[in-house]
Structure 1
Amino acid sequence: MDTSRRADKTILVVDDADDLRAIYVAGLVMVGYKVVAAESGVAALAQLGQKKVDAILTDLWMPRMTGAAMASAIRADARHQHIPITLVSAVPPETVDWSLFECVLRKPCSLEDVIETVDLMCFSAD
């Protein structure tokens, strides 16, 4: 994909694991995306109030607010409910409302899978 198309898109990466968050951020920046990061669902919701975000990549199990609770809050907010959200989790429980997410990636997943999924979320309407 042409990196200049990605330059207009901002991805919110939400993960409490510093190393994984850094890998996702670095990989997405490397291929041309603008990226903002948050270590929790609470911090991610604060970021949404400050920046235009085109897609969200989130972990499930995080302190203070899970990725599912964050996605539910986003879906309930008319300003942000259109933003596609991908869940990245090692063991997503059966109790998660899958309709909150456009895609689910199982950890461990490759950085290539993450980038491909973000590309699909950002450009599927093209």
Structure 2
Amino acid sequence: NQPVIGTLLVVDDEDDLQFILGEHLRAIGFEVLEARDGREAVEIAIERLPDLIIMDIALPVMDGVAATRVLRANARTASIPVVMLTARSAT
């Protein structure tokens, strides 16, 4: 077992993408937390304070943009970097 190099929160409602990202990130030494929607992401982030959040834009319950706004408004989570992703085409 290698030491954990950081904690990431991966937020996506697509099981395949969640699995692939989680497996690759764990393989290189990250602890990976997972959420399926924006509300769950906010709850986990406030409780666990991950080093980075990788969040899909299109999520059920609360989308990634709204969840990021909530995180930015909370003093505990305001400084956590958020990387937004989407599987949708820009065209």
TM-score (norm 1): 0.65
Equivalent residue for 1:63, pick from 47, 60, 65: 60
Query: How is 1:7-26 mapped onto 2 (pairs within 5 angstroms)?
Result: 7-26=4-23
Change (3 A) 1:88 1:61: same
Partner amino acid, structure 2, of 1:25: G
More strand by share: 2
Equivalent residue pairs, number: 89
Partner amino acid, structure 2, of 1:69: A
- In the TM superposition, residue 92 of structure 1 has moved relative to its aligned partner by 7.9
Equivalent residue for 1:38, pick from 15, 35, 59: 35
Q: Deviations over 1:66-117 (max 9, x none)?
A: 0000001001111110000000113488xxxxxxxxxxxxxxxxxxxxxxxx
- Corresponding residue for 1:79? 76
Change (3 A) 1:81 1:55: same
TM-score (norm 2): 0.89
3-state SS, counterpart of residue 82 of structure 1 = coil
> 1:92 & 1:73 partners in 2: Cα distance?
26
Change (3 A) 1:59 1:90: same
- What RMSD, in angstroms, separates the aligned Cα atoms of the two structures? 1.7
Higher relative CO (CA 8 A, sep ≥ 6), structure 1 or 2? 2
> 2:77 & 2:47 partners in 1: Cα distance?
12
3-state SS, counterpart of residue 39 of structure 2 = helix
Q: Which runs of 5+ in 1 are unaligned?
A: 94-126
Q: Which runs of 5+ in 2 are unaligned?
A: none
- In the TM superposition, residue 52 of structure 1 has moved relative to its aligned partner by 2.5
